[in-house]
Chains A and B, each alone.
Chain A
Amino acid sequence: MAAKDRRGAVSMDAMPLVSVVVPAYNAAGSIGETLNALRGQAYRQPFEIIVVDNASTDDTAAVAASYGATVLRERKRGPSAARNCGLRAARGEIVAHLDADTLPSRRWLRDITEPFSDPDVRLVAGNTLCYPPKTAAERYVQASKLYDTERAIKREEFPFAPSLNLAVRRSAALAVGGWDEDMPTGEDVDFSHRILTRFATNIAYAPGAVLYHHTRADAGALCKQAWTYGEGAGQLYLRYPDELRWDVRKSAVLAIRLLDRCSRPPLCALGRALGIVPGEQLEFVRYQSLWDRHFWAGFFHMYLLRRRRFT
Chain B
Amino acid sequence: MLAERVFETSFSLQPHVVATVVEDGAVLLDLETKYFFQLNEPAWAIVQLFEAGGASQEAIEETCRSWGATDADVPGVRALLSRLHEEHLVGSAESEDLVPAPFRGPWSTPTIERQAEPLHTLVTSAFDPSIPLAE
Contacts and interface: CB of A to CB of B under 8 A. Distances in A.
Interface stretch (B64-72, B81-89, B120-128): B120-128
Interface string A202-218: 00000110101000000
B59 interface: no
Contacts of B123: 130, 142-143, 145
Contacts of A132: 117, 122, 128
Given A134-B131, A282-B135, A283-B135, A103 B20 contact: yes
Given A106-B18, A279-B135, A142 B52 contact: no
Contacts of B95: 6
Contacts of B18: 105-107, 208, 210
A17 B133 CA distance: 48
B29 interface: yes
Contacts of B125: 143, 280
Contacts of A37: 20-21
A210 B51 contact: no
Contacts of A139: 126-128, 131
Interface in A254-311: 272, 279-280, 282-284, 286
A51 B54 CA distance: 35
A234 to B, nearest CB: 28
A40 B23 CA distance: 12
Nearest to A132: B122
Max count, chain A CB within 10 A of own CB: residue among B18, B94, B123, B125: B18
Nearest to A272: B135
A136 interface: yes
Contacts of B3: none
Nearest to A104: B20
B15 interface: yes
A219 B134 CA distance: 10
A7 interface: yes
Main secondary structure of the interface of A (DSSP, over half): mixed
Contacts of B23: 33
A42 to B, nearest CB: 6
A30 to B, nearest CB: 13
Contacts of A103: 20, 22
Contacts of A6: 94-95
A106 B21 contact: yes
B90 interface: no
Interface in A111-169: 129-130, 132-136, 138-140, 142-143, 145
Interface in B108-128: 117, 119, 122-128
Interface string B44-78: 00000001100000000000000000000000000
B60 to A, nearest CB: 18
A302 B133 CA distance: 34
Contact of A208 (B12, B15, B22, B94): B15
B4 to A, nearest CB: 28
Given A6-B95, A105-B29, A283-B133, A212 B20 contact: yes
A45 interface: no
A284 B125 CA distance: 11
A27 B121 CA distance: 31
Contacts of A145: 123
Given A105-B19, A208-B31, A279 B131 contact: no
Nearest to A9: B15
A40 B19 CA distance: 11
A304 B114 CA distance: 51
A284 B135 CA distance: 11
B122 A133 contact: yes
Of all A-B residue pairs in the complex, the 4 with the closest CB atoms, nearest first, are: A280-B127, A136-B134, A142-B126, A143-B126
8 contacts: A132-B128, A133-B126, A135-B134, A139-B128, A142-B122, A143-B127, A208-B15, A280-B133
